[in-house]
């Protein structure tokens, strides 16, 4: 855990813990919805990577923008979304963030600056960079964070937009969540050289950080967001992390690409929520009982939201051809 003794940030620490716990609770419930065949389709679990989304989004305002990925529930929660509308979206219900039209892989929450998850790996890199272009041109001071996985570093469009972001000094942070796996393949087997070196080749300041350490992530994010606002962007950050589940909820038998021992080791030693909880207790910022009660409260919230979403109505069939085109000009 990053050395930070001050209690001045107690409120922020507790918010970060709570947000990480909310993501885990959301994902555990989403997984149960899948396993009990109550959720249409598939979903990709963010569990294990909570410190990345929370550490970064804690450094952003609601006017700052993010783009998200197919593994995007964590970003969505961390950027301020509510459980009810998220579960409704996962279940294809009318009250979902996208009125059930997007689903897990396309949740967008523009009121909180979330420009949307994206089901094309690397598909949001152009969008995020364009968002930063708007911020720069209009002088809004907003920063855009482009979340993507290590797998997306194999997409060519990233190199195109990084080049332009560097040329035009755009206020964007490319945040690569390196969980070690590109879908069902070890990234080490398909990525030559180093990821940071790729960004450095464009003259972009690049950083590697322990993505399981929410304070380390947040410290770095605060610094880079502030520098972006001063016109010193873009930046690249590689966050070393781990996904607890398979590529998606249906990826159960995965021994052929990853050992159970490896998974157990990360969960036992490097869980971002457990470790941050221990640190909070050690620093006497919170008592063990208080943490348990926060966990319970968050879990109860998630379960109530699931129940709400299960009972919520589907969209009216007349909505099927609504929103193909925006009306008016």
Interface with other proteins includes 42 (CB under 8 A)?
Answer: no
Q: Is 121 within 8 Å of 152 (Cβ atoms)? A: yes
Q: Which residue has the tokens 């909310």?
A: 22
Asked if residues 174 and 235 have their Cβ atoms less than 8 Å apart, the reply is yes
Is position 317 an interface residue for other proteins (rule: CB under 8 A)? no
Query: Binding mask 44-73 vs other proteins (x if CB under 8 A, - otherwise)?
Result: ---------------------x-x------
User: Going by C-beta distance under 8 Å and a sequence separation of 6 or more, which residues neighbour residue 73?
Assistant: 23, 26, 27, 30, 43, 45, 46, 86, 104, 107
Binding status of residue 137 toward other proteins by CB under 8 A: yes
Q: Which residue carries 């998200």 as its tokens? A: 68
Give the Cα separation of 226 and 195 in Å (integer): 23
**Which residue, chain included where needed, has tokens 């060519």?**
156
What is the residue-wise DSSP string for 6-65? -STTHHHHHHHHHHHHHHHHHHHHHHHHHHTT-SSS-----TT-HHHHHHHHTTS-TTSE
How many other C-beta atoms lie within 10 A of the C-beta of residue 274?
14
Residue 108 in the binding site for other proteins (CB under 8 A): yes
229 contacts other proteins (rule: CB under 8 A): no
Q: Under the criterion CB under 8 A, does residue 322 sit at the interface with other proteins?
A: yes
The window from 6-14, 27-35, 105-113, 176-184 that contacts other proteins (CB under 8 A) reads 105-113
6 binds other proteins (CB under 8 A): no
Q: Which of 38, 62, 160, 259 binds other proteins (CB under 8 A)?
A: 160
Q: Which CB atom, from 110 or from 287, has the smaller least distance to other proteins?
A: 110
Which of 138, 192, 255, 284: binder of other proteins (CB under 8 A)? 138
326 binding other proteins? (CB under 8 A): yes
Q: Rounded to the nearest whole angstrom, what is the least distance from the CB of residue 153 to other proteins in the complex?
A: 15
Size of the site for other proteins (CB under 8 A): 47
CB 175 within 8 A of CB 239: yes
| Distance of alpha carbon 171 from alpha carbon 165, whole angstroms | 8
Among 78, 128, 214, 225, binds other proteins (CB under 8 A): 128
Residues that bind other proteins (CB under 8 A): 65, 67, 96-102, 106, 108, 110, 115-116, 118, 120, 123-135, 137-138, 144, 156-157, 160-161, 163-164, 167, 322-329
């Amino acid at each position: 855990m990053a050395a930070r003794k001050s209690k001045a940030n107690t409120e922020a620490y507790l918010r970060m813990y709570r947000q990480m716990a909310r993501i885990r609770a959301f994902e555990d419930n989403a997984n149960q919805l899948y396993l009990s065949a109550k959720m249409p389709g598939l979903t990709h679990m963010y569990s294990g990577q909570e410190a990345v989304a929370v550490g970064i989004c804690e450094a952003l305002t609601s006017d700052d923008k993010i783009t998200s990925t197919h593994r995007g529930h964590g970003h969505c929660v961390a950027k301020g979304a509510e459980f009810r509308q998220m579960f409704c979206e996962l279940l294809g219900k009318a009250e979902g963030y996208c009125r059930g039209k997007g689903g897990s892989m396309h949740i967008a929450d523009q009121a909180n600056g979330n420009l949307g998850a994206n089901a094309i790996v690397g598909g949001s890199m152009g969008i995020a960079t364009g968002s930063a272009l708007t911020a720069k041109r209009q002088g809004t001071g907003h920063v855009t964070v482009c979340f993507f996985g290590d797998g997306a570093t194999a997409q060519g469009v990233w190199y195109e937009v990084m080049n332009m972001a560097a040329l035009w000094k755009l206020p964007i942070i490319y945040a690569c969540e390196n969980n070690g796996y590109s879908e069902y393949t070890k990234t080490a087997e398909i990525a030559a050289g180093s990821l940071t070196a790729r960004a450095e080749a464009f003259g972009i300041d690049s950083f590697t950080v322990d993505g399981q350490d929410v304070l380390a992530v947040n410290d770095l994010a605060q610094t880079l967001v502030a520098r972006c606002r001063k016109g010193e962007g873009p930046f690249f950050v590689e966050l070393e992390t781990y996904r607890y589940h398979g590529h998606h909820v249906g990826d159960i038998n995965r021994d052929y690409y990853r050992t159970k021992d490896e998974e157990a080791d990360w969960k036992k030693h490097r869980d971002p929520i457990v470790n941050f909880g221990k640190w909070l207790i050690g620093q006497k910022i919170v008592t063990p009982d208080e943490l348990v009660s926060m966990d319970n409260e968050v879990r109860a919230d998630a379960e109530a939201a699931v129940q709400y979403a299960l009972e919520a109505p589907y969209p009216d069939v007349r909505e099927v051809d609504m929103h193909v085109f925006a009306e008016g000009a």
